[in-house]
Every structure is written in C-alpha cells, then in structure tokens.
Amino acid sequence: MPKKLFSLEELEELRKEILSKREPDKPVITVCTGTGCQTYGATNVYETFLQEVKNQGLEDKLGVKATGCHGFCEKGVVVVVFPEEISYLKVKPEDVPEVVRAVAKKGILERLLYEDPVTGKKIAKESEIPFYKNQSRIVFGNNKYIDPKNIEDYIALGGYSALSKALSQMSSDQVLEEIDKANLRGRGGGGFPASRKWKETKNAPGEPKYVIVNCDEGDPGAYMDRSLMEGNPHSVLEGLIIGAYAIGAHEGFIYVRQEYPLACENLNWAIKQAEEYGFLGENILGSGFNFRVKVHRGAGAFVSGESSALMSAVEGKAGEPRFKYIHTAVSGVKGRPSNLNNVETWATVPLIINKGADWFRSIGTEGSKGTKIFSLVGKVNNTGLVEVPMGMTLRQVIYDIGGGILKGKRFKAVQTGGPSGGVIPEQYLDTPVDFDELTKLGSMMGSGGMVVMDEDTCMVDVARYFVNFLCEESCGKCIPCREGLRLLRVILNDVCQGKGKEGDIEVIEEVAEVMAAASLCALGTTAANPVLSTLRYFRDEYEAHIKEKRCPAKFCKDLTSFYIQPEKCQACLICLRNCPAGAINGDKGLVHWIAQEKCSKCGICFEVCPPRFSAVVKLSGEPIPEPPPPGTKVIRKKEG
Amino acid sequence: MTGVSGLVAKVVDSYQRDKDMLIQILLDLQSGFGWLPAEAVTEVSKQLGVPITRVYQVASYYKAFSFSPKGRHSVTVCLGTACQVRGAPRLLDRIMDRLKLKPGETSGDMRFTLSTVNCLGCCALGPVMVVDGVYRSNPSTTELERIFEAAK
C-alpha cells in the first residue's frame, strides 16, 4: 500500500524517489498494447519478450514494458526500445529473440525498421519517421512512456503536478481564468469554449455540482478518446479533478462505452491508484478539497453521447436527449448544475495549468488554439492517430503524415466530423483544419474522425451509409429526425439500387431543411449533413445513379457487374475456384466467363485475379458483352 | 433463493442497491447470463424498487441488452465508416454466407450469434471482426474457415 500524499512537497519527494530508482541508460523494450496492436497479437508479443529476456538471462540488464497506443496502428505490433527510441514495426512473436539479442548488444535490427516507401531508406528513431515527425504530440505523446496500469510512470513524467499547483497555488477562479485565457474549446465536436461552460456551472445555483467525462465515443471512424483513456487515463483524471476544483464540484462521472473494455479496465485501475495516492477522495494533497468519481459504462446507444442524453444515462435511464433551453450547466444530472467535457478536452487541462495559457495560445490558429488528435483512417497509407497543431492543412495531414492514398489511387474526398459532418473534396485540400474553417465547407471538425476516400468510394453510398447509421441510432423522440431519416433512407436506398427517380434530389433537400430546422437535438439537426455535403460536391454522382443507372465509382452492387475480358484471361482457375456462387465457367486452357444470372457480385473474382492478368473488370451503366463461345482457348500472354 | 434471484441480489448489492446504477446492473447481468431472462428483469425490478416498465424501457433502449439467449460464440462485424470504406460489407456478406445467419440471428444449434457494431475503434485496421472478444483484421476466406472451425 503506497503512502497517501498530503502536500505538494510530498508529491515532489515521491517523484524524486521514483526517478532515483530508474536507470535512464538501461534499455527498456516497450510494446504497444493498445487495442489496435492487440488485434495484431501484442499481448503475445509482450509475453514472449518477458520470457525471452528471462531465457537469455538478461533480466537485470533489460526492462520490458507494456504501454498504451502510439498511434501508428497500421504498423502494429509497435515496439520501441528506449532510451534511443528505436522503433520496430510489425513485430511478430517469432521476431522477439532476434530483437532481444540486438538490444543486448546495443545494436539495431535493420529488418524490422521503418522503410521510407519513396527512398527505401531505413529509419531507426521513432521521432524521425515521417508519420511522427510532422506531428506535435503534446496530449497524446506521453502514451508511449507510460504503462497505463502504473501510476508511477505518470508521476515520473511530472504527472499530477498541475493538480498540486492548482490546489496549492491557485484559487478556483484563477484556474478558471487560465482556461478562459487559453481559449480551450471542446474537443468533442461542438468546439464550445470550455471556460464558458465551467463558469456557468460554477455560478449556477444548487448543490451538489457535477463534472463529467464524456468517453462515449460513438462516431464511427474515430478512436482518439479510446486510445487516450486506455493509454494515459491519469491525464484525463487529473484534468477532471482540476476542473472539479475550479467549478466547485465534489462528485464526478466518467461515462465510457462498454464497447471499449480495455478503456474501462485501465480507467478503473487508474482511479483505484489515484485514491491510494491521495489524488482522489477526501482532503486531496492536503488541500481540504474533496472529490470522488464513479465510472458508468454506456450500453450501446450513439445518441447517449449527446450531453443531456448522457446525463439521463448516468441517472440509470434511457439516454434520450431533451430540449436544452435550460443548459445542462444549470440543470443536468438530477437537475443539478453539471459540466460535461470530452476526454481530450479534460486531458488538455493539466498541460495548460502547467505550462500556462500563453504557451497554449502560441499553438494553433486565431480561433482554435492548441492541438487536435485525428483518427486518420480509410484509404490512406499510414492509418492511425495523429496529433497536429490546429491550422495544419488537410493536404499536410493526409499526404505528409498519412503518406498519401492507398495503392496509388486518386484522392476523392475526406469525411470529417462523423455522422454530423460532411465530405471535403480535392479542391479544398489546402484548407487549414480548425473548428471554423471546416464548418465553412459544409463539414465540421467534430471529434476528430478523418476518413479518407478514394476513387473507388461511391459518394451516394457514403450518404446512404450515414443515413442508415443515424436511422438506427435516432432515439425516435422527435418526428423530424425519426421520420426524416426514414424517408432519406428509402430514397437513398432506391438511388443506390438504380430505382432513383427524377425529383428525388429535390425531396432530399426539402427533408434535410426541415430536419435541420426542427429536430430536438444535434443528432437530428446535423443528420442531413453527410447527404447535403455529398450533394454539394458530388451532385453529378447522384445524377448518374438516377438518370443513367450508373455508379461512377462502380461500387453500388445493383448498378455494377463483373466481366472477364476474354483476351486477357489466362485460365488460371483462381477466380473459378474462389467464386462462392459457382457463377464462373471455364476450364484449364479455356477462357473463363461469368454467368451473370448466378453472380452474387461479391467481387472476389476481381480481388483474386492476379494483377499481371487484370482480366476481371467492373462495368456500370454499359452493356455487358456476350461471353465467348464455349471452348474458347486462351491467348497466352508471354510472361517476363 | 433460486439461482436467478440470488445472482441478481449479488449484482444489485455490489452497487449498494443504487437505482442510478440500473444500467450498470443490467450490463453485469447481461454478461453473466449472456442475455436478460424475463425472470432476471422481474427480480431487478423487485429488488431495486424500480417499476418493471422502466427496467424494460431501459433494457430495450440500449443495444447491449438481449431478451433472447445468445449462441456460444459471438461473431461481431464492425461497420464503422473506416471499415465500411475498406470492405466491411463484403466481409459481412462472406460471413453471412458461411454461417447462414443474418445480423442479430443465432444459429439453431446455439453455436454462433452474428451481430454488427457501428465502430469498435480499431479503425486503422479495418475491416475488423471480433470473435469471442478476439479482434481480427481483414481475415481471408481461409482464415475465416479456420476461425469458425475452431469455435465448436
């Protein structure tokens, strides 16, 4: 049982003690065990490292540590060797003995280093890899140093010093002023100034007051909050406690999606440790300030991430939103003043208190200060989490950090802001990313999802996808949202299936207008954004679907057919064997052909046809040529 | 006390019989039973002192709860945006074809339950599926076969 801390001095002493026990020159092999890397078998890799170090008798000379997400999920399992920060990527259990031997000899294992796709040069240091080099990881960066289950790692990095500074040297008003001066805007999507909400809650009549962490990260395609909560839960807790002090709240809630089991686990662990060390509970750090926190798991409802709905869920009720003419800051959980912020917002608070509002204001754009974490996913080479200063252009994020489009395809659009956002086409790639600029383009920054789409993505299908998603997630309380979405779903399904009619686009626009004007909560008022923004920039794709029954991206199943070009087919039998519908005819030496009436359009033939033949093509809006006469022999292609 | 009411009592007590914790209690029961039997719902209502209509309202509102038993193995396909653009619909088609199930259905022999989820937060690895808590990134047809064969 650790000693409970009662003052700033005791915390500093503990920090010194922890640091004195550490050997900064001792090599430590860290394994990312975030959910992304776990998918690639990180737990197994971590355990293999522990065993291998033991086998080679190196326990005294080498440390092994599990850490949170580094962000470069595409290249998992990510292993970084400290103190040199040598980054090994795509590490498998069978690579472990070789890595251990290399580390023991203070050498580098070239084979697993990052290779620059352009120059072919190997890069050893993590910070020099282009994916990391162009980021500023002030909120997210500590993940790689921290074992999320060990509070001492957080303390060693200066953790909880912002809390002790706030409690011992600042009044609650001074804390609030600092956040106000920093112009910290909510990272959850709305971009509302945090200090305004804090002030309103603080000044609202009624006790007790509550502070809440929103980790109900429901936006499909976004996982920043998950990785922060999993990888550095104490930074969120510290921010929350500071906020509670500023507002005068003694009770807090942390609402986490139950789809994030590791985040729940690490958070509960962190709370327990924070209580033991005296960062939570009675008389925190001897200041006389008391604060407790409870964890609530969400039970799977997207709309519960809306603040008033989340507060109902915390009361154990169905998470439906309500009208907010009285703000939740005045009447939230159980009718009491309640302040809710998103995970990333809370995690930014300790940095501002430690380094000052002026430092924070020096990063970012006029209206949006600081950095933002984005989940850069979809058809981009380097997928993962990236943290950049506000104001970096979309092009820099997607090309300099993301390494461009997968398989050298053409960029079509980037979807930002999740189901409330929209798509941004190529001509706006040089737009600086911040709260205000993306809104001007009919999208929004939202919580930080950035889904990159290429020429093979159908924009009508993207709209249909989001409408379908929202249709299922709408709570049904207000009619514009419930019925509007249902109508949009019917129309968009028709359009994607080639049953679209003249006038459909106009009906879509009319419904969208009513939904935006009359829905109860933000889910409904923004629900038509993905449709409207795809219409704004890709109206021609809608028209092609409706008038020509053609899907320009050749994505929509009902408007696309697969066809084997007889002059290219080499009768390799691969597609024939893989076709689950048994629709492909042919034999050794005989040209293959697809019986269209049997074809289920699963696309497997297109995927498995060897690129050197590329015989299978997709057709849309054009007649399918007749198959070759039975028994047509292949025209052999000279190889090499 | 029968098995169900005993288990409910244990869970309800672990939350100090706090009515605000209704969702948390139901989540624990859902993972304990694998579903929410009617008897458990009635017991929660009785023991927690919450009207049964409200317990049902909450339990039917959230997706995590199920009023019918689930198969021994859960197969979940992520349909988040990132997975969607990287081929999740085709992965789902292949799985539906192999298991002869639609999302939400359980096989007659109680071996598999197929479901979809809107985002698991593994967006960088899409398309993603989860079988019994183990995450898999873009499995091939052969890998799928192996995974399903191993789940008896």
Task: List strands edge to edge, sheet with A384-389.
Answer: A384-389, A371-378, A449-454, A411-416, A422-425
CA dihedral A125, A127, A131, A137 (to 10 degrees): 150
Query: Please, what is the Cα angle at B85 between B79 and B86, to 5 degrees?
Result: 90
CA distance, residue B37 to nearest chain A CA (Å): 17
A599 CB neighbours in chain B (<8 A) are none
Domain boundaries, chain B: 3-61, 73-150
Report the distance separating Cα A557 and Cα A537, nearest Å.
Answer: 23
Task: List strands edge to edge, sheet with A251-257.
Answer: A292-298, A251-257, A210-215, A338-342
- Residue B1: band (very low, low, confident or very high) from pLDDT cuts 50, 70, 90: low
- Does B65 contact A299 at a Cβ distance shorter than 8 Å? yes
Helix (H, G, I), strand (E, B) or coil at A493: helix
* 3-state DSSP of A278-300: CCCECCHHHCCCCEEEEEEEECC
- Does B24 contact A296 at a Cβ distance shorter than 8 Å? yes
ipTM of the complex: 0.90
For a pLDDT cut of 70, what percent of chain A falls above it?
99
Q: Please compute the mean of the pLDDT values over residues A197-216 and round it to a whole number.
A: 96
Domain boundaries, chain A: 21-133, 151-360, 371-454, 459-547, 557-620
- Does A39 contact B125 at a Cβ distance shorter than 8 Å? yes
pTM over 0.80: yes
Give me the pLDDT at residue A471, please: 93
| pLDDT surpasses 70 at A504 | yes
Q: Which CATH number fits domain A459-547: 3.40.50.150, 1.20.1440.230, 1.10.1370.30, 1.10.3720.10?
A: 1.20.1440.230
Q: Which residues contact A26 (CB under 8 A, 6 or more apart)?
A: A61, A62, A63
Structural contact between residues B51 and B45, judged by C-beta atoms closer than 8 angstroms: yes
Quick one: which of A353, A345, A357 has its CA closest to A164?
A: A353
Q: Please compute the mean of the pLDDT values over residues A554-561 and round it to a whole number.
A: 94
B94 CB neighbours in chain A (<8 A) are 580, 602
Q: How far is CA A127 from CA A111, A148, A403, A407, A408, in A?
A: 18, 21, 16, 25, 25
Maximum Cα–Cα distance for chain A, whole Å?
Answer: 89
Helix (H, G, I), strand (E, B) or coil at B78: strand
Asked if B130 has any chain A CB less than 8 Å from its own CB, the reply is no
Q: Please compute the mean of the pLDDT values over residues A124-134 and round it to a whole number.
A: 93
Q: Please compute the mean of the pLDDT values over residues A569-574 and round it to a whole number.
A: 93
Give me the pLDDT at residue A639, please: 55
- Residue A212: band (very low, low, confident or very high) from pLDDT cuts 50, 70, 90: very high
Instruction: Encode pLDDT of A307-355 as tens digits.
Output: 999 999 999 999 999 888 899 999 999 999 999 999 999 999 999 999 9
- Residue A219: band (very low, low, confident or very high) from pLDDT cuts 50, 70, 90: confident
Residue of A nearest to B86 (CA): A378
| pLDDT surpasses 50 at A640 | no
Instruction: Encode pLDDT of A471-499 as tens digits.
Output: 999 999 999 999 999 999 999 999 999 99
Q: Which residues contact B41 (CB under 8 A, 6 or more apart)?
A: B52, B55, B56, B59
Output the CATH code of domain A151-360. 3.40.50.11540
Structural contact between residues A329 and A273, judged by C-beta atoms closer than 8 angstroms: no
Class assignment of domain A557-620? Answer: alpha beta
| Sign of the four-CA dihedral A140, A257, A313, A530 | positive
For a pLDDT cut of 90, what percent of chain A falls above it?
84
The rounded mean pLDDT for chain A is 93
Determine the distance from the C-alpha atom of residue B28 to the mean position of all C-alpha atoms in its chain, rounded to a whole number.
12
Q: How far is CA B71 from CA B59, B129, B130, B133, in A?
A: 19, 17, 14, 14
- Tell me the one-letter amino acid at B103: P
Residue of B nearest to A380 (CA): B124
CA dihedral A396, A400, A403, A406 (to 10 degrees): 20
Helix (H, G, I), strand (E, B) or coil at A18: helix
Q: Please compute the mean of the pLDDT values over residues B34-54 and round it to a whole number.
A: 95
- Does B64 contact A299 at a Cβ distance shorter than 8 Å? yes
φ, ψ (nearest 5 deg) of residue B93: -55, -45
- Residue B87: band (very low, low, confident or very high) from pLDDT cuts 50, 70, 90: confident
CA distance, residue B137 to nearest chain A CA (Å): 7
Report the distance separating Cα B99 and Cα B59, nearest Å.
Answer: 28
Q: Please compute the mean of the pLDDT values over residues A232-261 and round it to a whole number.
A: 96
Give the one of A451, A466, A473 whose C-beta lies nearest to B82's C-beta: A451
Eight-state DSSP code of residue A71: S
| CATH level 3 topology of A21-133 | Glutaredoxin (3.40.30)
- Does A219 contact B119 at a Cβ distance shorter than 8 Å? yes
Residue of A nearest to B121 (CA): A223
CA distance, residue B71 to nearest chain A CA (Å): 19
Asked if B96 has any chain A CB less than 8 Å from its own CB, the reply is no
Helix (H, G, I), strand (E, B) or coil at B72: coil
Which H or E run includes B40?
Answer: helix B38-48
| pLDDT surpasses 50 at A616 | yes
| pLDDT surpasses 60 at A128 | yes
Class assignment of domain B73-150? Answer: alpha beta
Give me the pLDDT at residue B152, please: 84
Residue of A nearest to B94 (CA): A602
Give me the pLDDT at residue A581, please: 86
Report the distance separating Cα A20 and Cα A159, nearest Å.
Answer: 16
Give me the pLDDT at residue A323, please: 86
B86, B118, B140, best to mutate vs chain A, most A CBs in 10 Å? B118
Q: Which residues contact A449 (CB under 8 A, 6 or more apart)?
A: A219, A220, A221, A222, A374, A375, A377, A415, A416, A417, A418, A421, B81, B123
Considering the segment(s) A371-454 as one domain, its CATH architecture is: Roll (3.10)
A74 CB neighbours in chain B (<8 A) are 124-125
Eight-state DSSP code of residue A320: -
Instruction: Encode pLDDT of A69-120 as tens digits.
Output: 999 988 989 999 999 999 999 999 999 999 999 999 999 999 999 998 888 8
- Tell me the one-letter amino acid at B137: S
A575 CB neighbours in chain B (<8 A) are none
Which H or E run includes A213?
Answer: strand A210-215
Give me the pLDDT at residue A97, please: 95
